[in-house]
Structure 1
Amino acid sequence: MALMPLPTDEVQRLIAVGAPTAIQYSTYWGRTAQEQYGRVLESAIVSFLGVSFSYFMSFVVGGFVATIFGSLFLFWGILSPELKAYQRNWEFLGGRELVDPWGVRESGRDPEDAGLYGALFLGYIADVCVVEDATTYSYEYDLAEFADYNMNDDELEKYTGRPYLLRLLVADKSVNGQDRDDIGGGRELQVHARLSDEYLDVRRGMPVSGILLSTSPRFDRLAAITDLFVPDAGCWIGDYPYLNRAEVEDLLARDDEIWDLLQLESNLEIDSYDNQGTSRTETGIATENAGRDSGYNAGIKKSVSMWMIRLNPSMQVRRGRTRKMVQALGRVG
């Protein structure tokens, strides 16, 4: 049981896809000194050219209109990150509404064409490494080799213009656990994000959580995925912060049931086994490209393997102060 459907109000509380948050705003100012310098230079050029254009335009359209345009260009450095964050937040949902799986059944609407369903994914890191390219199975470096890594001094970015990427294989215990043969498959996600100093403490077997969105109540089609939270490493993995971090931390702190489920996914013995001298090998599980649905999953590249949905019929989901039973969704072949 690693996929927990959530009511609409809970999903809206856990993800930030409306007005940009402070951390979303700062993301578009750049995460490295080079990116920040480029942003300042771009803003200065746009502001200078825009104000100059507005001045000459005032002779044609009048001073009032030219003043409005001039003000927009003058403060472009402040407005640009805000507008880009707004756009990215909107693209994450693709203009589709979040729907409640229980409400759709009660209303009689077509569940497959009602909107986006949200679920809390609880799993563990089955594999972690560093790669140069996310689109190919390039050479995989052990994360331990980057113990002194600094984003401002990325050697690969200096020579190729592209930084190193962190590659995560996220799964639940039904994939690599003892019950895999019994259930016939499981959930696996391969996620890529720009390597950051914050990720250096990530280890195989650590529990991980995130929000998945799907157009199907059975979650057999993946529409979007947020950044991922790794509590044991104290980091959020992803190129853009879709999760409302304060709310996610609050949920895990106050809901003992969800926290216990997350801890059950912990599988740190696989990292301990590697540390005893076993060499790290590339993952041999064949994956298929989940497709990049433009706008729905911007910021995170992923592939999905054997997307089997199995929910325990007795699983209970917190909804306000009450609990509603979640019916078994069955297996998706």
Structure 2
Amino acid sequence: MLIPLTRKTFDQLVPKVGTADQYRYCWGSPADLLRRVLISVAGLTGVFALRYLLGDASVPFAFVAGTIFGLYWLWSPVYFASRRNAGLRRNSYSGFWRGRVLDAYVTNDVTGTEETVDKRGDLVIVENRERRLNLELGDRTGFVTQFQVPLQKDHRLIRPGDFAEMIVTSNREDLGRISAISDIYIPDAKLWVSDYPYLRKDIFVEVRQQLRRQQQRRSPPPPEPVWE
């Protein structure tokens, strides 16, 4: 099932500016915070050096640049979240999709490599591996898509045959070709599956409930339950 959404509704689901959940995601680990702080320190050092070389004429520029660099560690997660959102927002059309989990399985994938030296002084390449959940989703129209995220404990609740819901985007008004998909909601397990939280979950719940009421008014109960 694929129901087109208005741009206004989509903008509420995926805002231009990062949400609180997206900010927390982009905040990252302590190592990420340390890297941002080092960038702030390096930027401030460069600004002060330029201020010293150019004299009083550079005071306005130094103030603006110093503020930007000094607070980089704080505001940059909002910037990176907004860039992630822009990737989903670049298409003009969107829709609410509902199908099923066709398959769910776990793989152990290489996420990166590191070079190190062993006891004999030889260069050794170490692979960093991560267990990831792979979902295959589809509906009655023949649409099938793959989705992969880092494995979490709650993912054990997902079973083939479970309903799956998400927002899809397209550059075609009829949504005939899907360009991107959001995070996925599994209503049978009341579980969100995502690497990055694109959607405002509270708005998504409101939208799905509204669409459910509209569908119930327009058509008789189907032989197979479409909504939980």
Q: TM-score, normalised by structure 1?
A: 0.55
**Counterpart in the other structure of 2:99:** 123
| Counterpart mapping for 1:254-293 below 5 A | 254=210, 255-257=212-214, 264-265=225-226
Summarize the alignment of residues 202-281 of structure 1 with structure 2, pairs less than 5 Å apart.
202-254=158-210, 255-257=212-214, 264-265=225-226
Q: Distance in 2 between matches of 1:81 and 1:209?
A: 27
Displacement of 1:134 in angstroms is 9.0
| Paired position in structure 1 for 2:115 | none
Name the % identity.
24
The change in CA–CA distance for 1:48 and 1:9 in structure 2 (over 3 A counts) is closer
Question: For 2:187 and 2:2, how far apart are their aligned partners in 1?
Answer: 18
- Give 3-state SS (helix, strand or coil) of 1:23's partner: helix
2:19 corresponds in structure 1 to 21
The residue aligned with 2:72 is: 76
Quote the residue 1:67 is aligned against.
63
- Kindly state the Cα deviation for residue 191 of structure 1 after the two structures are TM-superposed: 0.9
1:87 aligned residue:
83
1:257-280 CA distances to partner (integer Å, 9 max, x unpaired)?
55988x83589xxxxxxxxxxxxx
When residues 125 and 258 of structure 1 are mapped into structure 2, their CA distance, relative to the original with a 3 A threshold, is farther
Tell me which protein shows more strand as a share of its residues.
2
> What CA distance in whole angstroms lies between the structure 1 residues aligned with 2:63 and 2:171?
45
- Larger deviation, residues 75-84 vs 231-240: 231-240
Q: CA deviation at 1:132?
A: 2.5
Whether the 8 Å contact between 2:93 and 2:170 is mirrored in structure 1 is yes
Once the two structures are TM-superposed, the CA of residue 219 in structure 1 deviates from its matched residue by 2.7
Residue in structure 2 matched with residue 331 of structure 1 by the alignment: none
Alignment of 1:36-185 (within 5 A): 36-61=29-54, 62-94=58-90, 96=91, 116-133=92-109, 160-172=127-139, 174=140
- Contact kept, 8 Å, 1:124 with 1:265, in 2: the verdict is no
Aligned CA RMSD, in angstroms, stands at 2.7
The 2-side partners of 1:265 and 1:129 are apart by 24
| CA deviation profile, 1:121-167 (whole Å, cap 9, x unmatched) | 101111111113399xxxxxxxxxxxxxxxxxxxxxxx633422210
- Secondary structure of the structure 2 residue equivalent to 1:240: coil
